[in-house]
Structure 1
């Protein structure tokens, strides 16, 4: 699956933001999740102490690196995610990035639709503005609108899909891409050390043809938040994911041992989670995090997600360094492009997690 592949669809779902603007009182049936899957169907708890917060600046400090590395290792082994502070991106810059995204979603629909991902009324592309791909009958949709943009490799950016309003959008996203990649590289270096691989192992795997996808998720208010989900439970088909969330509105939840937990908000912190590709490469040492997003009736919510994954033709399988008699291979081999297609298919079809289809 090349990044610019187009998907045949059965129909074009309405823009959720426009449903809300039109004063909808009940979510349309295609957004209502089965009762057993609704947010209130399971007990949700606050994260137990200590909340996994890692100061990335200390990982490079000789005085504090051992202690901070231990915190990182514990967070990855026990939760598959952590909150990253000390990443070097100033609060003012992060505020500008979030504001540029917010201004895009505040534009009139006609202006937003200039970046539409719909092609000829019957296909959708990976890049662009829209929401769920309607590819199955009776498909349940997320209460969410999105703007997806390929940001790396830089030569493959499709600038025709990038908003021209606000005028700061392109420059800020380019800066954010560079600075977030530096953060991702630091994290990957330390993840390699956790499993006794050379420090640059995973950084080098993200070569010149690897994909980084920026996803701007917009969750409008919902009149019946207990009946819908902003994002249904899933794992990411990435190596790692870095998520910058709205500092004023919670909503991200993760699952651990069958229980759901609210991910706490720490202003200017980045949420870092392990993706499926890293789980496969590490032969299950790292676990991809199951997560979802809930909505609320009063406030909109916004997030900026950076998905780091390997080049399409790369085969993903457990690294030979991590397979032996005591820890046999736990996953089959598959091309990355085929796995990404599987991720989209299983999510749209409400099937089991895509990562489960690779387990031996």
Structure 2
């Protein structure tokens, strides 16, 4: 049964005590997060002939499952505009935002995903939009206030597609594959999917007892994340230790998705990550989620399977069905398509 939840922003602004449903269970005496320390990747240097930059990218995606890229081609002014319009939307009066509210338990639109959460709830509101294929756009959810929202998202999406091609080519070259090898997975905007998820995290006085987004992996091929310019909040899990991802104001974060881990036969890792909450400042982010068409067969690349590296994952279509079915299990959704020898 679908149960609607108030926007978290409304709970915060009403001054109410944080409802018990948002309080996270204690997870023992875990160490405080450490600051992640890895080199940024210069996107302009990612070419087949630049072995040093390719090696840096490969190392980051194997070790952390993510990388911060600079010199990616999107002007700083555009990134700032995207952040500003995100803040402007979430600062609109509630009755204005509710014009774009999600229907039932559907993903698209404004609201939160707490209706489908297992256990405690996320201290997060979102605006989720299906950008590609164009025929799948539900424009009733695309804000017309701020007035430039639609045009800006359209342009930003086009720029992200260019970055995706550069990254997919570089990832393939870093594994000594043909540079087009991964491009087959997301090349047709009339079939392959791009979703935009705008995240808003209100401040919370009980910040150490709630979480913005609970630990999870992305079911994508690749996620391109734009962080808040000032307030940190993204953490990556590595070796049972949480690491804080530092803010580099005009960098973009590349996150390996489950489908890329499968295709690379486990070489690139889909990282467990979460979003934390600040006690005094709100925070925004924008995740661009690249997802192959459900009609495409997904499975490890043949060149990456050998006697030393046996096939780790099945071949199948529509990873989304496995991802959704295994959310209640509490395990990594990718485990559902592992080959257990």
TM over 0.5: yes
What SS is found at the alignment partner of 1:225? coil
Quote the Cα distance in structure 1 between the aligned partners of 2:5 and 2:323.
20
Of 316, 321, 332, the residue aligned with 2:314 is: 332
Verify: 1:189 aligned to 2:174, yes or no: no
In structure 2, the partner of 1:28 is: 19
Quote the Cα distance in structure 2 between the aligned partners of 1:69 and 1:319.
19
In structure 2, the partner of 1:57 is: 44
Verify: 1:159 aligned to 2:109, yes or no: no
Q: How does 1:65-76 map to 2 (within 5 A)?
A: 65-76=50-61
In structure 2, the partner of 1:314 is: 296
Cα deviation for residue 257 of structure 1 reads 1.0
In structure 2, the partner of 1:46 is: 35
When structure 1 is superposed on structure 2, of 85-94 and 154-163 the one drifting more is 154-163
What SS is found at the alignment partner of 2:226? strand
Quote the Cα distance in structure 1 between the aligned partners of 2:133 and 2:142.
15
Q: How does 1:76-225 map to 2 (within 5 A)?
A: 76-118=61-103, 123-135=104-116, 139-208=119-188, 209-225=191-207
In structure 2, the partner of 1:359 is: 338
Cα deviation for residue 61 of structure 1 reads 9.5
Cα deviation for residue 158 of structure 1 reads 1.5
When structure 1 is superposed on structure 2, of 68-77 and 293-302 the one drifting more is 68-77
Quote the Cα distance in structure 1 between the aligned partners of 2:305 and 2:133.
31
Quote the Cα distance in structure 2 between the aligned partners of 1:303 and 1:34.
25
Change (3 A) 1:242 1:281: same
Quote the Cα distance in structure 2 between the aligned partners of 1:240 and 1:168.
27
- What TM-score do the two structures reach when normalised by structure 1? 0.89
Deviations 1:192-231 (A, max 9, x none): 1122221122122213211111000100111201111101
What SS is found at the alignment partner of 1:215? strand
Cα deviation for residue 285 of structure 1 reads 1.1
**Is the contact between residue 24 and residue 223 of structure 1 (CA under 8 Å) also seen in structure 2?**
no
Unaligned stretches of 5+ in structure 2?
A: none
Quote the Cα distance in structure 1 between the aligned partners of 2:112 and 2:144.
20
Deviations 1:299-351 (A, max 9, x none): 00100101111102223222222222222111123322xx324434544x361
Quote the Cα distance in structure 2 between the aligned partners of 1:135 and 1:77.
31
**Is the contact between residue 35 and residue 41 of structure 1 (CA under 8 Å) also seen in structure 2?**
no
**Is the contact between residue 241 and residue 306 of structure 1 (CA under 8 Å) also seen in structure 2?**
yes
Quote the Cα distance in structure 1 between the aligned partners of 2:68 and 2:283.
19
**Is the contact between residue 253 and residue 293 of structure 1 (CA under 8 Å) also seen in structure 2?**
yes
Of 276, 296, 303, the residue aligned with 2:258 is: 276
What SS is found at the alignment partner of 1:226? coil
What SS is found at the alignment partner of 2:200? strand
Cα deviation for residue 179 of structure 1 reads 0.4
Quote the Cα distance in structure 2 between the aligned partners of 1:232 and 1:94.
26
In structure 1, the partner of 2:240 is: 258
Unaligned stretches of 5+ in structure 1?
A: 1-8
Quote the Cα distance in structure 2 between the aligned partners of 1:207 and 1:219.
33
Q: How does 1:291-302 map to 2 (within 5 A)?
A: 291-302=273-284
Cα deviation for residue 41 of structure 1 reads 3.9
In structure 2, the partner of 1:15 is: 7
Quote the Cα distance in structure 2 between the aligned partners of 1:263 and 1:45.
9
Equivalent pairs counted in the alignment come to 337
Quote the Cα distance in structure 2 between the aligned partners of 1:287 and 1:11.
34
